[in-house]
């Protein structure tokens, strides 16, 4: 199947403003791009790119004073299969984890393992290690938090979300991955596209989505505490320790986000042809 993804963001800046954009499809999905996700700005300005310490594609710009539109429109090839489910995937003993997974056991800006460690072990210490333990964490977070866009807060941490019992998709991801880390399961934050493919259409405006990946049995698996069911058509854009590492746009100066639109749509002709 093919999925059309893209966005149009409009910013208003009172003065020239440096921005770091993390708006490209992740390099691991580049071979799936049928039509590239080139970033287009209006007015047209210079763009330069680099890879951050997690391997994510980043773009540097200096937005001029006034209004700037940042957009992209791409076509992505996808297997059409839901997230992998491996109930027998084992938990790797912490001393046997690869070096690059260890950072995803540690506390980070929004994921305070120290504040949730006792809670995690009390809740999940007796659960079977590996996939069943991650699933128990998913079930708990899914039931513990109530989703609502009105609950969004740029400063809310995993501990805050646990105590408040509400949040948006990033809060579900932060809490679940923090509990995984507390249980010695490496977990990393993901952001990207997730459309209403294979599920009833959500009447709310489309947005970028957040989920997490946990390291089990030698590989990373996708998990989604908000929906708590395997989903079709995830298109990852960036991975990091938490939302601090993967902001869609990092702006270094005063600004107003005047308009925000995201789309993630299955191309129906491909479904019929299949």
What's the rounded Cα separation, in Å, for the pair 234 and 257?
25
Asked whether residue 213 is assigned to any structural domain, the reply reads yes
Do 139 and 186 fall within a single domain?
Answer: yes
Positions in the chain short of pLDDT 70: 269-274
Residue pair 123/140 in contact (Cβ under 8 Å)? The answer is yes
The CATH number of the domain holding residue 102 is 3.10.620.30
Q: What is the pLDDT of residues 111-154, one digit of tens each?
A: 999 999 999 999 999 999 999 999 999 999 999 999 999 999 99
| CA proximity to 35, closest of 273, 267, 191 | 267
DSSP H stretches of helix in the chain? 113-124, 131-144, 158-164, 169-182, 268-273
Asked whether residue 105 is assigned to any structural domain, the reply reads yes
Asked whether residue 86 is assigned to any structural domain, the reply reads no
pLDDT at residue 198, rounded to an integer: 93
Do 46 and 101 fall within a single domain?
Answer: no
189, with CB counted inside 10 A (0-12, 13-18, 19+), is buried
Do 215 and 130 fall within a single domain?
Answer: yes
Do 128 and 226 fall within a single domain?
Answer: yes
| CA proximity to 119, closest of 176, 189, 66, 54 | 176
pLDDT at residue 187, rounded to an integer: 98
Handedness of CA 70, 75, 77, 83 (dihedral sign): positive
Do 120 and 109 fall within a single domain?
Answer: yes
- Judged by DSSP in three states, 114 sits in helix
pLDDT at residue 269, rounded to an integer: 63
Do 146 and 256 fall within a single domain?
Answer: no
Do 105 and 190 fall within a single domain?
Answer: yes
Residue pair 249/126 in contact (Cβ under 8 Å)? The answer is no
pLDDT at residue 271, rounded to an integer: 44
Asked whether residue 169 is assigned to any structural domain, the reply reads yes
The CATH number of the domain holding residue 27 is 2.60.40.2250
What's the rounded Cα separation, in Å, for the pair 122 and 212?
22
What's the rounded Cα separation, in Å, for the pair 64 and 69?
11
Q: Which domain holds residue 171?
A: 94-245
Do 120 and 169 fall within a single domain?
Answer: yes
Residue pair 170/158 in contact (Cβ under 8 Å)? The answer is no
How many structural domains compose the chain? 2
Handedness of CA 245, 8, 210, 175 (dihedral sign): positive
């Amino acid at each position: 199947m093919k999925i059309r993804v893209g966005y149009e963001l409009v910013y208003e800046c009172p003065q020239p403003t440096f921005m770091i954009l993390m708006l490209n499809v992740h390099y691991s999905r580049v071979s799936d791009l049928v039509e590239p996700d080139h970033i287009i700005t209006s007015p047209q300005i210079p763009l330069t790119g680099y890879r951050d310490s997690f391997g994510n594609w980043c773009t540097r710009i200096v937005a001029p004073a006034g209004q700037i539109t940042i957009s992209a429109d791409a076509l992505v090839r996808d297997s059409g299969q839901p997230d992998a489910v491996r109930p027998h995937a084992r938990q790797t003993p912490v001393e046997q984890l690869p070096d690059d997974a260890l950072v995803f056991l540690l506390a980070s800006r929004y994921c305070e393992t120290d504040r949730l460690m006792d809670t995690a072990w009390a809740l999940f210490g007796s659960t079977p290690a590996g996939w069943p333990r991650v699933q128990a964490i998913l079930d708990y977070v899914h039931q513990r938090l109530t989703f609502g866009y009105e609950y969004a807060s740029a400063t809310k941490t995993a501990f805050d979300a646990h105590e408040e019992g509400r949040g948006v998709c990033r809060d579900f991801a932060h809490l679940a991955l923090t509990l995984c880390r507390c249980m010695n399961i490496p977990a990393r934050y993901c952001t990207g596209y997730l459309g209403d493919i294979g599920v009833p259409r959500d009447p709310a405006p489309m947005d970028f989505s957040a989920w997490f990946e946990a390291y089990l049995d030698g590989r990373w698996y996708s998990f989604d505490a908000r929906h708590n069911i395997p989903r079709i058509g995830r298109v990852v854009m960036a991975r990091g320790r938490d939302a601090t590492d993967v902001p869609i746009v990092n702006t270094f100066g005063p600004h107003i986000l005047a308009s925000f639109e995201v789309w993630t749509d299955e191309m129906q002709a491909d479904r019929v042809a299949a």
